[in-house]
A and B are shown apart, each in its own frame.
Chain A
Amino acid sequence: MAEVDITSKTMDGMGPHGTKVGLLRVLGPAHVWALGVGIVLVGEYMGWNFAVGKGGAYAALIACWFAGILYTCVAMIDSEVTSTVAAAGGQYTQAKHIVGPLMAFNVGLYLVFAYTMLEAANAITAGYLFSVVATMSGYEGTLDQRPFIILVIMFLAWLNYRGVLATLTFNLVITAIAFVAILVLFVSTSGLVGAGIMQHAALMEGAASLPYGWIGVLAAMHFGLWYYLGIEGTTQAAEEVRSPARALPFGTLAGIMTLLIAATLTWYICSGVLPWEFLGDGVNGSVAPLFDTARLSGSNGLIWLLGFGTLFATLASANGCINDASRAWFAMGRDKYLPGWFGAVHPKYRTPYRAIIFLVPIALIFALGAPLDQVITFSILSGLLEYTFMPLNIIMFRKKWPLNTIKRGYEHPFHPLPAIVLLSLCGITFFAVFLGYGTQLVAMIGFYIVVSLWFHFWRYRFVNRGAQFTMPWPKPQGY
């Protein structure tokens, strides 16, 4: 089998195990980067600043860096496992192979909910951005945001339906523009080129430094996740990259480095210009802090650049979320964790078309009918549950298949330190979320317990157990 040419257009995606139509292997590391960073970068443009409201600007910076450590662990662990379990579904597939069916079912749902909620939140934001543009262009009426919210979801679903290469090339272009916009804003306002407008010392002195003390720092961790939430989405491209062992670690690790830079620069730029009371109020104060900073710079060029940056970041995030949610839903359908009907691949476009279409009305219902903060909270909580699973996953992976038993595309260093750090930071963040959104946290855990019972007592009998473990791995140690 080793002589099979995987780049062949007639053979690509049509391999053993009876596959006649499979997902198309056309992506490279840049697409993986665009998928991960594309989903997240909107968090730099808006959302992270709620952390400032929780504990002031310094608290947001501490949360930024602690969340950065959390996500660096996530990226390293993901890179190792996914470069080995290179299949659609990402963490769902990892859980299926390494932990067991019930964990896999839960992780699959975390993924679909996290990405679909985030997609809905992005569509709501895009609708709001169109209304801002209308007001700025002199429109005096009240713009109906609904057609723009629906258009964003329908256009991006259509793009995803038509093929993964165009979808993620589109993401690559708009994500790169949005990232460059942050760099340009930093260079233009920090004093590196021309006169700077930064006022850190004046804005952060006295009580403004840590207005709510250290408990504020803890509370800020909840929204600190927003700087990076979604980078783990790179794993969903595993079945569509040309070389998983190379592209997934490369794209994911380059992605987290990009985000660490973007997050720190964003904090520096915005906290140096906007007072923390205004910056931290993401509803009535600074909805889009980078854009507000550009407006204060007085440069029309920067206002336009950051305006487009905000819109592009929003679209890139929604686009990546559709890609990821549909792959997770598709993978669960393929294994009969959900009805097998969802495991279909489009014979021409080679995309999981039924999963893409099925998730459209769900995203629309949340985008049109649910408040933004609730949608975002549900997304964050689902993501947090997923991160809590990862340390357990990597510890079991290393134990069952030690380094000398199977080939890995990437081996993350200092094991088990990253797993322990990740688990500890997840615990801290759960407490931070409990402080602000305890009811939602309890309600959501209750929801996952109920669906777990449903899976255990009813759905599991339909799971395709024979086709579940298709990787040609040796038996795990101890079995």
Chain B
Amino acid sequence: METWNYIEYAAWGLSALFGLYMVIDWFKIDTTYSEDVLTSSREGELEAMTEQHKV
């Protein structure tokens, strides 16, 4: 086994870790918060708060 073979295995391992992190966190968030909260984002917030569009 050469160094680059170990690096290949490390790349597979790290990829799996990053993927697992996202999937586990995704599951945790979706089971902790209601869909109403998670999908409550609406566009135009800053506009409505700071810009009155009067020139």
Contacts and interface: CB of A to CB of B under 8 A. Distances in A.
Interface in A68-123: 86-89, 93
A345 B11 contact: no
Contacts of B19: 154, 360
Interface stretch (A58-66, A143-151, A168-176, A266-274): A143-151
A405 B55 contact: yes
A452 to B, nearest CB: 23
Contacts of B15: 147, 150-151, 154-155
Contact of B8 (A16, A144, A157): A144
A20 B45 CA distance: 11
B40 A21 contact: yes
Contact of B41 (A22, A93, A245, A406): A22
A6 B49 contact: yes
Nearest to B33: A347
B29 A139 contact: no
A158 B43 contact: no
A13 B53 contact: no
B52 A472 contact: yes
Interface in A315-372: 331, 334, 340-341, 343-348, 353-354, 356-357, 360
A23 B44 CA distance: 11
B22 A17 contact: no
A141 B40 contact: no
A471 interface: yes
B49 A341 contact: no
Interface in B3-55: 3-5, 8-9, 11-12, 14-15, 18-19, 21-23, 25-26, 29, 33, 35-55
B8 to A, nearest CB: 5
A334 B25 CA distance: 21
A21 B4 contact: no
Nearest to A137: B4
Contacts of B5: 141
A404 interface: yes
A155 B41 contact: no
Contacts of A341: 39
B43 to A, nearest CB: 4
A244 B50 CA distance: 11
B46 A19 contact: no
A22 B45 contact: yes
A396 B21 CA distance: 45
B43 A473 contact: no
Contacts of B45: 13-17, 19, 22
B42 A473 contact: no
A1 interface: yes
Contacts of B51: 245, 407, 472
A470 B44 contact: yes
B46 A15 contact: yes
A86 B55 contact: no
Contacts of A356: 22
Given A143-B4, A158-B22, A474 B49 contact: no
Interface string A455-479: 0000000000001001111100000
A407 B52 CA distance: 8
Contact of A18 (B21, B42, B53): B42
A329 B9 CA distance: 33
A117 to B, nearest CB: 21
A222 interface: no
Contacts of B42: 16-19, 22, 334, 467, 470
B39 A343 contact: yes
Contacts of A470: 42-44, 47-48
B29 A244 contact: no
Given A157-B18, A353-B26, A23 B41 contact: yes
24 contacts: A1-B48, A2-B50, A15-B49, A18-B42, A88-B43, A93-B43, A139-B4, A143-B8, A151-B12, A151-B18, A154-B15, A154-B19, A158-B18, A331-B43, A334-B39, A346-B29, A353-B29, A357-B22, A360-B22, A405-B55, A407-B53, A470-B43, A471-B47, A472-B44
Given A1-B48, A87-B44, 16 more contacts: A4-B49, A16-B45, A20-B36, A137-B4, A148-B8, A148-B11, A151-B14, A151-B18, A154-B18, A158-B21, A334-B39, A343-B41, A346-B29, A407-B51, A407-B55, A472-B44
Interface of B: 2-5, 8-9, 11-12, 14-15, 18-19, 21-23, 25-26, 29, 33, 35-55
